[in-house]
Amino acid sequence: MKIRSIILSSVVIIAALLQNHCSAQEVTAPAAAKPVKKAKLGETRNVHRCGDLYLAGQFSPQDIEKIKAAGITRVISLRTDGEIDWDQKTALDNAGLEFIVVPFRAPQELTDDVFDKVRKLLDDSNKPTLFHCGSANRVGGVWMTRRVLDEGIDLETAVKEAKTIGLRNAEYEQKARDYIERKKKAEKGNKPSKSKDINASFLDPDMDVEAFVKRFEIDNREVYAARKEVLRALNLKAGNRVADVGAGTGLYTHLFADQVGDSGWIFAVDISPKFLAHIKDKAASRGTANITSVLCREDSVDLPPESIDVAYVCDTYHHFAYPAATTQSIYNALRPGGELVVVDFERIPGKSREWLLGHVRAGKEVVRKEIEDTGFAFVEETAIPGLNENYFLRFKKQASR
């Protein structure tokens, strides 16, 4: 009996331990992605439901009460002006439903901005939402990017789901696949490089700006000595909006401000508050009114989407602590057709100086590939008189991708 009692007690203890272990697993395990099920909202076309998100084609004014009765509080539409013959916004406003439009109608209009906006909107899980277009074709193409990147569904499963929902256009599918691939690459690349270590002096609150002026603005520094030739190659126009990324002491910031004139604008972007204070003080002393100082993060230039025509990165790319994320932020900040120009050091083992080999993270070929992987199109490498250890690469943001 004593042995039986010990065994029973042991079983109880083990069971309790197992129960506690399972409970802990239930708490810490990631939630499974919600399944997609067929649904109905009045006579609305092609309705599917995934949790509190309804994915559908077009609904009629008569369906609005059914939509509201389902607990939906927000409607997101991908349709453009003129696609329906009734005032959808007013009807939804009158019903007390929030209405948001992220319009596109053709593959060339399905840009990263559309994907980004919809993913951000759908991230608000506290708002039961109807996400629709005409037939759910566009909805399927856009939603699959969130399904993969934000909900952890594997790509091929997400594609099948999207087709079940209504995706038919192969170009929409390819656009979504391309976006997902680039975002995953950027995520992998959003890790600190060894460049993070070489930025410590710029973040030092006791940094001596004048010491850097003496180092950076001298004739034996190529990008200073050849500044006129670099300006000529940039070919800035009056009215251009330019970001001087890694502006430093402001050498090019002030040159750019003069070149774009009063109708243009310069954003001096840097991680160093002391550099930016120096640029601001110098602008005030010169009476320059077309410069904005932007204190950025180490993984972003922190500029609004499509706010600039040109981004200039001079002897700074090798200082990017998060190259993929920072370059992506530059891409987002450029207007379609805008240009990125990178001037940086050649890094050629056996040829470059030992200091450069130890200081610069990657050579020109690697830099070019990283930038192209972000989505930029390579335009040209320009030979600049006076630049021997530095190269000048020009890239363009494509009108759509």
Q: Which CATH architecture has domain 37-189?
A: Alpha-Beta Complex (3.90)
What is the location of CATH 3.40.50.150 in the chain? 194-396
Task: Evaluate whether 79 touches 114 at the Cβ level (below 8 Å).
Answer: no
Fold category of 194-396 in CATH: Rossmann fold (3.40.50)
Q: What is the pLDDT of residues 79-129, one digit of tens each?
A: 999 999 999 999 999 999 999 999 999 999 999 999 999 999 998 767 999
pLDDT of residue 193: 63
- Tell me how far apart the alpha carbons of residues 357 and 193 are, in angstroms, rounded to a whole number: 15
Q: Has residue 69 got a pLDDT over 90?
A: yes
Contact 58/84 with Cβ under 8 angstroms? yes
**What are 328-368's pLDDT values in tens digits?**
999 999 999 999 999 999 999 989 999 888 889 899 999 99
Q: Per-residue pLDDT for 235 more than 80?
A: yes
List the Cα angle 230/233/234 in 5-degree steps: 85
What is the structure's pLDDT at 71? 96
Tokens found for residue 378: 């390579």
Considering the chain, tell me which residue range(s) the CATH 3.90.190.10 domain(s) occupy: 37-189
Average pLDDT over the chain, rounded to an integer: 89
SS3 state at 67: helix
| Residue 183: band (very low, low, confident or very high) from pLDDT cuts 50, 70, 90 | confident
Q: How far apart are CA 20 and CA 135, in angstroms?
A: 48
- In this predicted structure, what is the pLDDT of residue 22? 35
pLDDT tens for 306-331 read 999 999 999 999 999 989 999 999 99
For residue 117, CA distances in Å to 56, 122, 124, 233 come to 18, 9, 12, 36
Q: pLDDT band at 190, cuts 50/70/90?
A: low
3-state secondary structure of 196: helix
Helix (H) or strand (E) holding 274: helix 273-286
pLDDT attached to residue 20: 40
The answer to whether 260 and 308 have CB atoms below 8 angstroms apart is: no
Q: What is the pLDDT of residues 2-51, one digit of tens each?
A: 444 433 344 343 334 334 433 333 322 234 578 999 999 999 999 999 99
Contact criterion met (CB below 8 Å) for 268 and 294: yes
Of 197 and 235, more confident? 235
